[in-house]
Structure 1
Amino acid sequence: MTTRASIAAKLDDFAFQKVNFGGFLMNKRAKNSHALWTRASEKGVTELTILASRDFGEGNVYDVAAFTLDGNVPEHLLSELRTEADRLADRINLREHGYVYTCLEPWDGGGSIWISKKPEFRALSRPDEGVYVIPIQRLSGLGEPRWLAWARDAGQLNIAIVYKP
């Protein structure tokens, strides 16, 4: 059975990160993610809660997901977040906001990734309550994203979706 703890333990192994985060730029993403993961004192794996989805056909599926670092999104927020995410996905083009999160990188773009210039979905987050919201572009053929790795480095929350646990 796949658990948060079993995935977190696997992330210590570069080969596992290479399978999940490698592929482009001669595995530079996997190397950078592995280095960040191994040096971070605060890190873990959590489950995503899908708030809204849009299927644009031909494998182009986009989700709005919420997560907390220590478990499930509180029930009292779920219906509100789902309603807000659904409205926002209908009002603005989710396809222009989705991001793949295929290596550990700042959850909000850190000011240097294009996702930082599109904050509408992340603005649904409640960081004071430990709840984060992200727009996701699914990787084709890998199904609904379920697991998210996170590591805090120099105060910055970094995340990556683990599609192959």
Structure 2
Amino acid sequence: MTSRTEIAAKLDDFAFQKINFGGFLMNKRAKNSHALWTRSSDKGVTELAILATRDYGDGNVYDVAAFTTDGTVPSDVIADIAPQAEALADAINLREHGYVYSSLEPWDGGGTIWISKKPQFRALGRPDEGIHVIPIQRLSGINEPRWLAWARENGQLHIAIVYKP
């Protein structure tokens, strides 16, 4: 089984980031993510806690997940916020809210990405405890997301899902 430490070490290698964060735009996302990762001293890999999942039968699967940069989300917190995440997933269409997080970018959109206009998920988190909640759209053909890379720069938390650890 791959560990957080092993994934974090792999993220130092641009080739690994290219596999996870590459794609169109001549791998610009992978280059930007790698640059942020390598210059940041406050970074790591954490495990996602899946709170709710919806499969609309069209080949896309959507999750609501929680994470913390300080380890794993405590089970009592999961027990408390999972029903709220389930209710939110039932009340809204996750297709309109899911996001891929396919490169290191501001976890809350940083005011420039559309996810910044979706505060319902952030409201489920407990930022004072370092717990964040995000809506995810899985990449096609990919299993449940498990690992999340994070790096903090100038006080801004950036995240990316590591689909291929």
TM-score range, shorter chain: over 0.9
Cα separation, 2, equivalents of 1:119 and 1:21: 25
Which SS does the other structure have where 1:142 is aligned? coil
Cα separation, 2, equivalents of 1:59 and 1:148: 22
Equivalence map 1:69-88=2 (5 Å): 69-88=69-88
1:58 positional shift: 2.7
Quick one: which amino acid aligns to residue 59 of structure 1?
Answer: G
Quick one: which amino acid aligns to residue 134 of structure 1?
Answer: I
Gaps of 5+ in 1: none
Q: 2:50 matched to which residue of 1?
A: 50
2:139 is equivalent to residue 139 of structure 1 = yes
Q: 1:7 matched to which residue of 2?
A: 7
Gaps of 5+ in 2: none
1:49 positional shift: 0.5
2:100 is equivalent to residue 100 of structure 1 = yes
Structure-1-length-normalised TM-score: 0.98
Cα separation, 1, equivalents of 2:75 and 2:3: 21
Quick one: which amino acid aligns to residue 81 of structure 2?
Answer: L
1:61 positional shift: 0.5
Give the ranges of 4+ consecutive aligned residues of structure 1 lying more than 4 Å apart after TM superposition.
Answer: none
Cα separation, 2, equivalents of 1:128 and 1:119: 16
Quick one: which amino acid aligns to residue 48 of structure 1?
Answer: L
Cα separation, 2, equivalents of 1:60 and 1:142: 10
Cα separation, 1, equivalents of 2:137 and 2:90: 16
- Residue-by-residue CA offset, 1:11-55 (whole Å, 9 max, x unaligned): 000000000000110000000000000011100000000000000
Quick one: which amino acid aligns to residue 69 of structure 1?
Answer: T
Quick one: which amino acid aligns to residue 102 of structure 1?
Answer: S
Cα RMSD, aligned residues only: 0.7
Tell me whether 54-63 or 143-152 shows the greater mean CA deviation. 54-63
Identity of aligned residues (%): 78
Number of equivalences = 165
Cα separation, 2, equivalents of 1:79 and 1:93: 23
